[in-house]
Amino acid sequence: MDVVITVAVIVVLAIALVLISVRSFIVICPPNLVAVISGRSKEGESGYRVLRGGRTLRIPLLEKVDWMELNTIAIDVSVQNAYSKGAIPLSVQAVGNIKISSREGVLDNAIERFLGRPTEYVQKIAKETLEANLRGVLATLTPEEVNEDRLKFAQTLIDEADDDMRTLGLDLDVLKIQNVTDEVDYLDSVGRRRTAQVIMEARVAEAERQTEAEEAEAGARRRAEIAQINANLDIVEKTNALRVRQAELDALGIAKEREAEVAGEKAKAVAEQSLEKERIELQKRRLEADVITPARAEKEAKELRAKGEAAKIIEDGAAQIEVFRRLIEQYQAAGDDAQNIFVLNMLPDLLGQIVETVKGVAIDKVTVIDSGNGSHGIADVMSQLPAAVIKLTEQIENATGINILSGLAAKQPAATVVVEAEEPVSAP
């Protein structure tokens, strides 16, 4: 049991030793500190390295770690009897905030000057530097400029001290002027002089304002009287203008009434004319409905019928033209016999016309008056009709080579001819 306890103690001590050893190898730097690790140097190097936040490794026994705080350091800056421009001694009290600069290049200046130094040493060096800068700035400004424009004074002091602060490796964050006094009461005298000047200016301004008020009052009374007179004149002018305007309006009213009466009569005449036009238009419409429209419809109907008959005639003519065209084609195809064919085709029509000449002829009585000159009247009359018919058929036969007498005899019924002869009457 004692052996186990001993082993456990040894293990714990070993672990603790390992942790301490590891801790001695690691350097952890918080944001408000700067770790300066020195001890090793290579050719061309400064002999130290800087760690601003984060962690790094170091070699125990060979490297040393120093720390520098980056926290703000408050400084009270004051100068007594510092001569300003014009040889007036002034006492100035100010407050400033500084810190170790973390900017690259400037931090090296701080390491060289303040590494291992306490904060009070840094505060003392910064205070002495700022007081010297404050005296230098006071020498370029008048007491009035220092007292009246403290923002400008503080900014000038910051610009003057900035180079010195960077040379020391410090940053000047804030510098404010708290109080400016003098032992010879120069500022009080300036204040009293300005107070007296302000009082004098106030009294002068008051007197001027009083005078201006009286003048304004008198001018107001004068303007009021003038305004009253002008108002009376305006009243009279307005009254006269009102009378003139009233007369003009009366005359205009009478004229408007007459114009209204004339316009009424005119409107009445126009209305009657419009009514008469409407009556005429109505009569036209009645006439158009009773006479013109039926006539137009009849005309259109006749035109349509005429167009229909014309179309029929045109179609019949076109059909006959087509028939003639085809007959011509047939005749042209027949050659020399075309004439005979044409005559033969016309023969039925010719026969029909010949037959029509004697068709339905019934001679009931023929009176022949003998002139007594020895002519035979009855024989002459009877011989003329057959001779004419025979002559016509002979001409057709000579032209066509066809004998149509037999066809004529077959088609027509025998005509009954009654011949009544009368004896010639002798002259007394």
Most confident of 116-130, 259-273, 357-371: 116-130
pLDDT grade, residue 116 (50/70/90)?
confident
Cα-Cα-Cα-Cα dihedral sign, residues 398, 404, 409, 413? negative
SS in 3 state form for 326-345? HHHHHHHHHHHHHHHHHHHH
Angle subtended at Cα 361 by Cα 358 and Cα 366, rounded to the nearest 5 degrees: 115
Count CA atoms within 13 Å of residue 90 on its CB side: 30
- pLDDT one-digit tens code per residue, 252-269: 888 888 888 888 888 888
Predicted confidence (pLDDT) per residue in 60-76, tens digit: 777 788 888 888 889 89
Residue with tokens 């005749």: 331
Decide if pLDDT at 32 tops 60.
yes
Domain spans, the chain: 2-67, 70-184, 361-428
- The percentage of the chain sitting over the pLDDT mark of 70, rounded to a whole number, equals 71
Fold classification of 70-184 is: Tetrahydropterin Synthase; Chain A (3.30.479)
Structure tokens at 343: 């005559």
Q: What token pair was written down for 47?
A: 């002999």
- Name the region of 401 (left: φ>0; alpha: ψ -120 to 50; beta: rest): left
Sheet holding 48-51, edge to edge: 48-51, 33-38, 64-69
Rounded to 10°, the helix 338-358/377-400 angle is: 160
Inter-residue contact 186 to 85 (CB < 8 Å): no
Give the model confidence (pLDDT) of 386-419 as tens digits. 666 666 666 666 665 656 555 445 444 444 434 3
- pLDDT above 50: residue 146: yes
